[in-house]
Amino acid sequence: MAMNIREQFSTDKVIAQKLISLDSKDKVQAEYIWIDGSGEHLRSKTRTLTSAPKSPRDLPVWNYDGSSTNQAKGADSDVFLQPVAIYPDPFRLGPHILVLCETLDNKMQPHPTNYRRRCAQVMEQVKNEHPWFGMEQEYTLLDVDGHPFGWPKNGFPGPQGPYYCGVGADKVYGRDIVEAHYRACLYAGIDISGTNAEVMPGQWEFQVGPCEGIQMGDQLWMARFLLHRVAEEFGVIATLDPKPIQGDWNGAGCHTNVSTERMRQPGGYKEIISAIEKLSKSHAEHIAYYDPTGGKDNERRLTGLHETASISKFSYGVASRCSSIRIPRQTEVDGHGYYEDRRPSSNCDPYCVTEAIMRTTCLDVKKLSRVYTPQDLEKFRNMMAQQGDKPKIEE
């Protein structure tokens, strides 16, 4: 009987595990991890250390071939790796570590694709606000041939409805991968707060947070790395494409929950409304920050259908999943809490998202440096006209 593609290219995990369990003789394997030139994909490579570092400052700066990651030309290809965070390695166990890195250019300055550095600077400016974030990372499992995992090869599953938070082999696909990723995150010290099956079959979500300041971006990127590595072990692809399947199927987002200390205190509801009103005046700018293509990816997702608001209109509402911003019902009842920005795409850079939100709502920056420009000129005119109006409230 012919093997499927996954079986054909699978390797013997029993043999691998037997060798991985061997004593490393007091040496430490450090997996250096960084974001490549796409702004959404991760790369990594390993080096041996003679002792376990106590902090990122104890780790050596390294480098890689930036011409192979779309971050440099071949004639001057070295890009430096500056360690910024360390996590226990759930794959190698023992003293071995995962090392999140910033990328630096040939003058040891932040590389143009390094958005962490500016985010860290903004978070330092607003540290007295004690901003907390929680990001809901949606993703879709695919077979190695790019077909949604668990879907019939020559057709489609039944319509959406029974799959969200579903239970049973006819409703969810890939739970072993999800559970393995959850435990890997806990082992690595990620503040993963939950997971659930999503609306489209084969689509899942995990949540990271609450995290304060730069920790949000660091932890979500590391959780994504763990997701891709766990999926690799199962011979499956975890895609962050915001609309992997066209048609009457939900897309994938990275809803971002935000609060400051004043929002979390009694009477903080007015602070939440104030922040939302500021966000309403820079909708086009934020859309440009909310996916790695300046809004083009989100055009496929933010259609006004499938629990999204239209990309061209800003709106907010209590308990409304059809709005740009959702205020949880409990926040309204309590009079304090947080709000949820539902616009970021699943493949967003959390550094860009959290930085933009803080610059607009806490630093009162009126105009950000990026602006989303839709291909439809009339849609753009309507968007810009609306930014001068009061935000639309969805009841």
Listed by start position, the domains of the chain span: 26-114, 123-393
The CATH architecture annotation of domain 26-114 reads Roll (3.10)
The CATH architecture annotation of domain 123-393 reads 2-Layer Sandwich (3.30)
User: Which residue's structure tokens are 């023992």?
Assistant: 94
Phi and psi angles of residue 342, each rounded to the nearest 5 degrees, phi first: -95, 5
CA atoms within 13 A on the CB side of 253: 29
Could you give the angle at the alpha carbon of 253 between the alpha carbons of 369 and 220, nearest 5°?
A: 80
Q: Report the candidate in 82, 143, 78, 140 with the shortest Cα–Cα distance to residue 110.
A: 82
pLDDT band, residue 8 (cuts 50/70/90): low
Q: Indicate if the pLDDT at residue 297 is higher than 50.
A: yes
Query: What is the length of the chain?
Result: 395
**Cα–Cα distance measured from residue 101 to residue 82, given in angstroms and rounded to the nearest whole number:** 5
Task: Look at residue 10 in the predicted model and tell me its pLDDT.
Answer: 72
Q: How would you classify residue 387: left for phi > 0, otherwise alpha for psi between -120 and 50, otherwise beta?
A: alpha
Q: Is 344 helix (H, G, I), strand (E, B) or coil?
A: coil
Structure tokens at 324: 């740009």
Given CA atoms 63, 65, 70, 76 in this order, what sign does their dihedral have?
positive
pLDDT tens, residue by residue, 37-78: 999 999 999 999 999 999 999 999 999 999 999 999 999 999
Task: Count the Cβ atoms, other than its own, within 10 Å of residue 23.
Answer: 7
Which residue type, as a one-letter code, is found at position 81? L
> For the residues 93-116, what does the mean pLDDT come to?
97
Pick from 145-149, 166-170, 178-182, 376-380: least confident: 376-380
Q: Report the candidate in 70, 82, 87 with the shortest Cα–Cα distance to residue 120.
A: 82
Q: Report the candidate in 136, 381, 375, 386 with the shortest Cα–Cα distance to residue 279.
A: 386
Structure tokens at 84: 């910024």
Task: Look at residue 394 in the predicted model and tell me its pLDDT.
Answer: 56
Q: Is 6 helix (H, G, I), strand (E, B) or coil?
A: helix
pLDDT tens, residue by residue, 342-374: 999 999 999 999 999 999 999 999 999 999 988
pLDDT tens, residue by residue, 109-157: 999 999 999 999 999 999 999 999 999 999 999 999 999 999 999 889 9
8 Å CB contact between 143 and 237: yes
pLDDT band, residue 380 (cuts 50/70/90): low
pLDDT band, residue 1 (cuts 50/70/90): very low
Phi and psi angles of residue 153, each rounded to the nearest 5 degrees, phi first: -70, -25
Q: Report the candidate in 118, 119, 51, 47 with the shortest Cα–Cα distance to residue 83.
A: 47
Q: Which class for 313: exposed (0-12), middle (13-18), buried (19 or more C-beta within 10 A)?
A: middle
Percentage of the chain modeled with pLDDT above 90: 88
Task: Look at residue 96 in the predicted model and tell me its pLDDT.
Answer: 98
pTM of the complete model: 0.94
Mean pLDDT of all residues belonging to the chain? 94
